[in-house]
Amino acid sequence: MGSPPIKHDLLIRFGSEYGVEERAAVLDVLDKNAPTSDKACIQFEKDFAAYCGTEYARCVSNGTAALFLSMVGIGLQPGDRVITTPLTWIATAAAPATLGAEVDFVDIDSETYNLDPTLIEEKITPQTKAILPVHMYGQCCDMDPILEIAQKHGLAVVEDACHTVGGEYKGRKAGSMGTTGCFSFHEQKNMSTLGEGGMVVTDDPNVYERIALYRSHCTRVYGESTKYCSIDETQFPMGKRFWWQDFDDTGYNFRMTDIQSAVGIEQLKKLDSLNQRRIDHAAFLSERLEGVPGLKLPKTMPERKHVFHLYPVLIDPTTFGMTKEDFIDRMLHEKGIKVGMHYIPLTWTTAFKNRGYDRGQFPVADHVGENVVTFPVGPRLTEEALEYLVESVVSLAG
Ligand SMILES: Cc1ncc(COP(=O)(O)O)c(C=O)c1O
């Protein structure tokens, strides 16, 4: 007996949606020979900073680059320490770790699955340089206590808002509250720039300058009068005479292309409505799955706009009658639906076992890692697909 066919609408489920506007934007930049960072990038940065309410935004090649540049931007040095959550994607912790810093994990809150602010202070040492909260699944961390602790101890706050573009905390946009905010426009995210992409935002001119410099090989371009200086050769104004370039340090090439930015400009215009569809889909799932024994549904905390990058559900195997693994397997083979799990605690990974971490150190993160499944709620899901998803879960629950 073969598996039932995978439902098309459920298969294409996690990412954003493109329309005629993105298609036109791509062709327009293609007609200009598709440059690397140029006018569309500058426009996208302006639009994105205005949307977030920050002074500066710099587009980058992906969310990982945004995190790396944030670490460089705050002046992270080898031997410094950064506090973050174990329940995240490896990129969050990889940014400080590959730059030679130590990562100190703090357990998560059992309701939001975000960093538990009450556990941060006991982890602070004289070497601690930053707190790196991750707004998981589309909901902001409880930022007030995090910002308060950071201020008290003179720490930077780098927000990993890769899941939460357009999300809000007490009226403030995700990514706009810390020293920097990092975004991903990967194919599966709430808005996308042709499969990869990212952005860093900040209000701090010095941090911004470092981010801009290191994004593009630390290049300074001098032209016309020797005083004129641009920190990015790709944004050297046309018509100015180029004289020479210098490099402040060895940096990276983490640039976004103009064709990606042109798509980003269009995606950003639609972001609130794309997010609203996620919120509506999540509300539908919550209404229909409420009361299914053994399922803990996601909660939106007060004064937060949850933009449901994913819809995380915690399974209680005893009450639900099967483990997470059995549920994922049966959903695939009996219903043709690919349910995700997406994130496991990083303490379970070889990378962090080699750094002295293991299962058993963070009980809440372990419990979530063992029992969480993630349902799709993206804008491409049809009503029929959502209905089929609910019916499938309910029928397996018996
Ligand atoms: C929480 C989190 N941070 C950072 C990233 C890295 O983003 P990117 O894939 O654009 O490099 C991801 C990607 O999934 C993520 O989930």
The answer to whether residues 85 and 105 touch, using CB atoms and an 8 Å cutoff, is yes
Query: Given a cut of 60, is residue 12 above it in pLDDT?
Result: no
Q: How many domains does the chain have?
A: 2
Query: Given a cut of 80, is residue 383 above it in pLDDT?
Result: yes
- Of 261, 296, 316, the one marking the end of a domain is 261
Give the residue-averaged pLDDT of 75-81.
98
Query: Given a cut of 70, is residue 226 above it in pLDDT?
Result: no
**Ligand 1 neighbour 163 (Cβ under 6 A):** yes
> Residues 81, 221: one domain?
yes
Count other C-beta atoms under 10 Å from residue 50's C-beta.
Answer: 11
Q: Outline where DSSP puts E strands in the chain.
A: 56-60, 81-84, 102-105, 128-132, 156-160, 168-169, 172-173, 180-184, 198-202, 219-223, 228-230, 242-247, 295-296, 304-305, 311-315, 372-375
The answer to whether residues 274 and 379 touch, using CB atoms and an 8 Å cutoff, is yes
Tell me the pairing of strands 156-160 and 128-132. Answer: parallel
What is the C-alpha to C-alpha distance for residues 182 and 194, in angstroms, rounded to an integer? 18
pLDDT for the residue numbered 1: 44
> Residues 320, 247: one domain?
no
Ligand 1 centroid–CA 318 distance in Å is 33
> Residues 335, 217: one domain?
no
> Residues 203, 313: one domain?
no
> Residues 233, 287: one domain?
no
What is the C-alpha to C-alpha distance for residues 22 and 59, in angstroms, rounded to an integer? 17
Question: What residue's CA is closest to ligand 1, atom 8?
Answer: 63
Do the domain assignments include residue 58?
A: yes
> Residues 224, 80: one domain?
yes
Tell me the pLDDT band of 184, cut-offs 50, 70 and 90. Answer: very high
- Of 261, 293, 319, the one marking the end of a domain is 261
> Residues 233, 131: one domain?
yes
Round the average pLDDT of the chain to a whole number and report it.
93
Count other C-beta atoms under 10 Å from residue 288's C-beta.
Answer: 16
Do the domain assignments include residue 3?
A: no
Give the residue-averaged pLDDT of 339-351.
93
Domain range enclosing 131? 20-261
**Ligand 1 neighbour 198 (Cβ under 6 A):** yes
> Residues 27, 143: one domain?
yes
Query: Given a cut of 70, is residue 11 above it in pLDDT?
Result: no
Give the residue-averaged pLDDT of 123-131.
98
> Residues 169, 285: one domain?
no
What is the C-alpha to C-alpha distance for residues 141 and 65, in angstroms, rounded to an integer? 22
Mutate which of 16, 162, 192 for ligand 1 pocket (most atoms within 8 A of beta carbon)? 162
Nearest-atom index, ligand 1, CA of 65: 11
Do the domain assignments include residue 1?
A: no
pLDDT for the residue numbered 10: 60
Task: Dump pLDDT digits (tens) for 229-267.
Answer: 566 655 555 555 556 778 989 999 999 999 999 999 999
pLDDT for the residue numbered 233: 54
- This prediction has a pTM of 0.95
